[in-house]
Amino acid sequence: MLNRLTHTQLLRYAGLFTWVVVGIPLFVLIWYLGPEEGEAAVGPTPRAAVAVGAHFAFGLIYWQITRTLGHRQQRLSDLLLLTALTFSAILVSAETGTGLGAILMMVTAGVIPWMVPVRVGVAWLIVQHVALIPVFIRSEGFTLGFAIMQAMTYVGYSSFAMVIGLIAMQQSQAREEQRRLNTELRATRALLAESSRMSERVRISRELHDLLGHHLTALSLNLEVAGHLTEGKAQEHVRQSHTLAKLLLTDVREAVSEMRHDGAVDLSGAIRTLAEGVPALDIRLDMPEPLLVEDPECAHVMLRCAQEIITNAVRHAGASTLWLSLGRDSGGLHIQARDDGAGAETLAPGNGLRGMRERLASCGGRVDIITGRGKGFALDIRIPLEKSA
């Protein structure tokens, strides 16, 4: 069963389990221990109610943070949620006078690498435990030095949890990268199979035209001459043979023309394979079935452009949905894409976009990009039909 869970799911459920376990001594402390040690309590105090609220707030925030862990870019809202998560853990310790909040901080440490860069995460880990020092001094009666040592002990535990979270993040990223590469490989293999099929059909049609067509033409001419040289019953058989030869030559020419006409690459299968391998992105395809492209080079360019669009939507735009439309019209082949990502005020083309423009230039195509902060990215790619016909 555990083998079916991803790294993020394992981290999420382990954190929630720890949260539940911490809640058990918290409620025991509230309901069965009174204001004075060993005395029965008549009910929860106001501070206990705050501690319970902080504990429930921690669980809800952790549930929200880990819903899309690893499938989104770092945003300001994530930092606010992480701050609230840390504050809830500190509040549990402050209101109960125990180290229960420090245990919740270990859970927080497991998600810190997913939320902020490692250097910021290390500083965050130290600062959140520094906030526990006054709690230990006030509630436990520790001296300043002993309180610092106690906080440092919890820092060690949380550091271990943070490293585990970092390893889980790296493994998850490696798995997603491997999945992406496998998808691209399968899409390229599908396109290569289509190109090989088309090349084989063209080769066979050429052989039929050059060899069989040539011999049938020579046979037809010889039978026509034989028809003039023979008489009687033999001449009738020669004429029938001549007619059959001409019919066979016509059938061969029609077969050759049909094979050449159908010699186009079906791009739809490769595109669908590419889109199905991106679990972090909802790709909504609008594409005819089949999508035939006569020029294998232009088909390859369209596949690479679609691949780059999907990669940019996941890595840079932070999008959750991508609308991708492919087809052909009187103007040629086209790709239209739009995502719901963050967008940008100014466009700074990277290696991916530059490579896309270079590929399109080889087919006489172009790309127009429209973006804005909070408006996502929209692309319109065109390849002239003359280049693909």
- Where do the domains of the chain lie? 2-177, 201-261, 265-388
Comparing C-alpha atoms, which of 343, 338, 352 is closest to residue 375?
Answer: 343
Cβ atoms of 389 and 342 within 8 Å: the answer is: no
> How far is residue 39 from each of residues 24, 36, 47, 51, measured CA to CA in Å?
20, 6, 17, 20
CA dihedral 55, 56, 57, 59 (to 10 degrees): 90
**Tokens describing residue 304:** 């690479």
More confident residue, 2 or 258: 258
**Which range scores top for mean pLDDT: 88-92, 171-175, 250-254, 362-366?**
88-92
Query: Residues of the chain with pLDDT > 70: what percent?
Result: 73
Residue 342 DSSP one-character state = -
Structure tokens at 290: 């089949």
Q: What is the pLDDT of residues 250-299, one digit of tens each?
A: 766 666 666 555 556 677 777 887 777 676 678 888 888 777 777 777 77
pLDDT over 70 at 386, yes or no: no
**Considering the chain, what is the average pLDDT of its residues?**
77
Tokens of 120: 């910021």
Cβ 109 vs Cβ 125: under 8 Å:
yes
Residue 56 has a pLDDT of 93
Pairwise CA distance, residues 8 & 358, whole Å = 38
pLDDT: is 287 or 3 the higher one?
287
Confidence of residue 87 (pLDDT cuts 50, 70, 90): very high
Q: What is the pLDDT of residue 71?
A: 57
Topology of the domain comprising 265-388: Heat Shock Protein 90 (3.30.565)
Query: Above pLDDT 90, what percent of the chain?
Result: 7
pLDDT for 132 beyond 80: yes
**pLDDT value of position 361:** 82
Strand partners, 367: 381
Per-residue tokens: 346: 């100014």
Rounded CA-CA distance 262/265 in Å is 9
